[in-house]
Amino acid sequence: MTSKSVDQFTERPNGSSIPLACLYSVISFIAVFGNLLVITAVCWDRTLRSYTSNYFLANLAVADFFQGAVSIPLRVLEVLGTEYHPNMFCRVAIPTSILFGSSSNLAILVISMDRFVAVRYPYIYVRYATPKCIITTIAVSWSVAAVLSLTAASRLVWLIPDVTSRICRFPVYLNSDYIIAMYVIVHVIPIGTVMFLYGFILKASLRHMRRIHAQELAVAASHTNGCHSNSKEDSSSSTHRRNGHQRETVRQRKAAKTVSIIVGLFILLVVPIIVIDLAEMLGAPPAPQPLTRICVFMIFANNCVNVLVYAGFNQDFRRAFKKILFKLVSFLRIREAYR
């Protein structure tokens, strides 16, 4: 495609850029610290290492850690209006965000498929959920993200725009055919698959809850109509089973709540910028710059809260977090005392 002339950026940062840069900085800190905490927990805690699915969570944490450590600081420089050549700067910022953002979304897709297979085909899952299979799956997802990133930086799809913009936007610098293909692979397929798979998991959880309730009613009826000779033992056994069913019901409800939050955040934070980009590529007037910046911020925020949402509803992760933070605080106190 023929190169177009480049206009030097003349727009200067305004007062609204400072609060947005501060928000990016907060998200970057949370992403780096939170995801590093998750990675440390999986590597350090024996209980977490015993569950193969947690390695997929660690993979998601790695992608989001680099998103917070590399991609978001680049966006802070962009928002603050730091002096840079637009073509060179965006040629680094865009492929970087594609690499780690794609890896994050594909990691969510892998987690969804892992949990679906574990629920739907438990015997097959036990057979194939091996370290070799996990490493291969993670390597494939990162390879796809790397190919998309390198392609974005190549002359095959990179454009030299004839319009000025302070935001490294995909429609400005990338070929529209590539953007559509990339969005299908990175967003449409993961979002559609996650909604379908988690819909099945949610349905299975609700069905399991109804079965538990039916069993409770059956046990209560049997206890009422049964003999009274062993009433004390029957009462103790019935209470034990009922408590077990109640714990399982609570666990299923928490799982259903987690599913709803994950799918809701994924759609709420990712879809707006996709709609704006596709609308502009189809000839719609450019969206207001403040709206565009907010939507770009939202998609970065989604990539940084993913692991916190997944791990935050897991009791084993919370226990590991407390131990790690306690040891860290103790280490800092001891170090301060020796100064």
Is residue 64 within 8 Å of 106, Cβ to Cβ?
A: no
Q: What's the Cα-to-Cα distance from 197 to each of 60, 80, 289, rounded to whole Å?
A: 18, 40, 36
Q: What is the DSSP letter of 282?
A: T
pLDDT tens digit sequence for 218-260: 666 665 655 554 554 455 555 555 555 556 555 556 555 665 6
pLDDT (average), residues 119-127: 83
**CB within 8 Å of 75: residues ≥ 6 apart:** 24, 93, 97, 296, 297, 300
pLDDT (average), residues 54-59: 90
Q: What is the torsion angle, in degrees rounded to the nearest 10, for the CA atoms of residue 82, residue 86, residue 91 and residue 93? A: 30
Q: Lowest mean pLDDT: which of 74-88, 100-114, 149-163?
A: 74-88
pLDDT band at 11 (very low <50, low <70, confident <90, very high): very low
pLDDT tens digit sequence for 78-109: 877 666 666 778 888 999 999 999 999 999 89
Q: What is the torsion angle, in degrees rounded to the nearest 10, for the CA atoms of residue 163, residue 166, residue 170 and residue 173? A: 40
CA 46 to CA 316: how far, in whole Å?
Answer: 10
Class at the top of the CATH hierarchy for domain 17-337: mainly alpha
Q: Lowest mean pLDDT: which of 55-64, 246-255, 271-280?
A: 246-255
Cα torsion angle, 81, 82, 85, 89, sign: negative
pLDDT (average), residues 10-31: 75
Q: What's the Cα-to-Cα distance from 211 to each of 35, 92, 239, 252, rounded to whole Å?
A: 37, 54, 18, 12
Give the domain ranges of the chain. Answer: 17-337
Q: What is the DSSP letter of 80?
A: T
Sole residue written with tokens 């955040």 = 265
